[in-house]
Amino acid sequence: MHDIRFIREAPEAFDKGLADRGLSPASAEILSLDETRRARITAAETALAERNAASKQVGAAKARGDEAEFGRLRALVAAKKDEIEALKAEADEADRRLQAMLMELPNTPRPDVPVGADETENVEIRRHGTPPAFDFAPVEHFELAGVRSGMDFATAAKLSGSRFVVLSGAVARIQRALAQFMLDTHITENGLTETWTPVLVKDEAMLGTGQLPKFSEDSYQTREGWWLVPTAEVTLTNIVSGEIVDDATLPRRYVAHTQCFRSEAGSAGKDTAGMLRQHQFEKVEMVSITRPEESEAEHARMTRCAEGILEALGLAYRTIVLCTGDMGFGATRTHDLEVWLPGQDTYREISSVSVCGDFQARRMNARFRRGEGAKPEFVHTLNGSGLAVGRCLIAVLENGQRADGSVDLPEVLAPYLRGARRLTAEGTLA
């Protein structure tokens, strides 16, 4: 959520941030609601003071037998009571409208974010590795002979519908090995704290990280009112919601491996083949909670954590900065990692690492205090995939494929697969 004080002090800068995202100016309406709210509060306070003063005089007028003054004062007290209630109601309505408007506006981009309308205007900042050269025409993951028996879309459709998959045998083991490798790397090498969290959350948690109220159609809600998390960003970030965090514990760095659920609203007809875009998928998610002055460096650090996983797996990738028109709702700057997929002959997103500034912290009221007696300040929050497990499975299968439909597996996965280094064309580990 936005800082109303910043909007009061720099409405032009606020509107420019919205304009860079392709949105209309909003400061005038916001400031009008803010002025109405503050004016009604001030008027209510004045009316309350007048009522209290009149109330004190009622008894004195009665005591001296001044019935006319007594009646006038009683009528004034009653009128002021009605006036105060009306003013408070108007202030509450203005505040409700103001908060609703602030809740639905996205974060404004950092000044160094490239301005653009959509993904075509994202900016590549570096590449790592060289896409493999094949002496045959590479195929997509679901077309590989060694994968077909372990990646069943027909059974998944029978069970759940489209955009689901049943993994079994060696393919399921490889996916599990990838998740375990990511967790172990982030914990032992990158200093993140492993965390296990629920996948069902309350409205407040989704509001805190920005999935609600604007994007409810992108997620699933149960009959009981819980939401299935679209990512562990929701739970990990909300660990500090409503808290005043001990400064000595910052930065806090969490990592969790969870099932994730997305409705994929608006993606009809897109990536329907294979398991690139699913309603249910796995992610290893990173979240950092930092002091404001440390969030920029933390963003670079988290990006390197995600890049390191791809490098250890021997996968070619590129790192891009998302332009203003392609960033997520809560982000003020985002790095996307795109891994090379030979079957599609292109790079595809496998991780987004975003710094959100104090945008989520304001929604969650997550603060820290620099020392005893210091005024609480909002923390900064960051999140990033480290990585999307299913998409990483796709990348490993496609980049390691051989002409006979077998797959050479990354060396780093061998300890998790009892030494196996290959998925055979028959679908077994060897």
352 labelled catalytic: yes
243 is in an annotated binding site: no
Q: How, if at all, do strands 244-246 and 407-408 pair?
A: unpaired
10 Å Cβ neighbour count for 117?
12
| 8 Å CB contact between 422 and 406 | yes
365 annotated ligand binder? no
Residue pair 95/110 in contact by the 8 Å Cβ criterion: no
For residue 273, what are the CA distances in angstroms to 153, 166, 175?
9, 14, 19
Tell me the two tokens of residue 360: 């989520």
Known catalytic residue: 9? no
Q: How many helices (H) and strands (E) does the chain have?
A: 12, 18
Out of 27, 219, 288, 352, which one is annotated catalytic? Answer: 352
Task: Determine the Cα–Cα distance for residues 421 and 396; give it in Å rounded to an integer.
Answer: 12
Known binding residue 231? Answer is: yes
Concerning whether 277 is annotated as a catalytic residue, the answer is yes
Which of 143, 294, 296, 349 is flagged as catalytic?
Answer: 349
CA distance 153 to 395: 18
Question: Which residue among the candidates 391, 398, 406, 422 is catalytic per the annotation?
Answer: 391
Please identify which of the residues 97, 277, 291, 362 carries the catalytic annotation: 277
32 is in an annotated binding site: no
Q: Is 369 annotated as a binding residue?
A: no
The answer to whether 285 is a known ligand-binding residue is: yes
The DSSP code for 384 is: E
Q: Is 233 annotated as a binding residue?
A: yes
Q: Is 354 annotated as a binding residue?
A: no
Do residues 274 and 314 touch, judged by C-beta distance below 8 A?
A: no
37, 173, 252, 262: which is the annotated catalytic residue? 262
Cis bond before residue 230 (omega within 30° of 0): no
Query: CA triplet 218, 221, 227: central angle to 5 degrees?
Result: 90
Is 232 marked as binding a ligand? Answer: yes
288 is in an annotated binding site: no
Q: Is 241 annotated in some ligand binding site? A: no
Q: Which residues are catalytic?
A: 262, 277, 349, 352, 391
Binding-site residue set for ATP: 262-264, 349-352
Annotation: binding site for L-serine: 231-233, 262, 285, 383, 385
Residues comprising the binding site?
231-233, 262-264, 285, 349-352, 383, 385
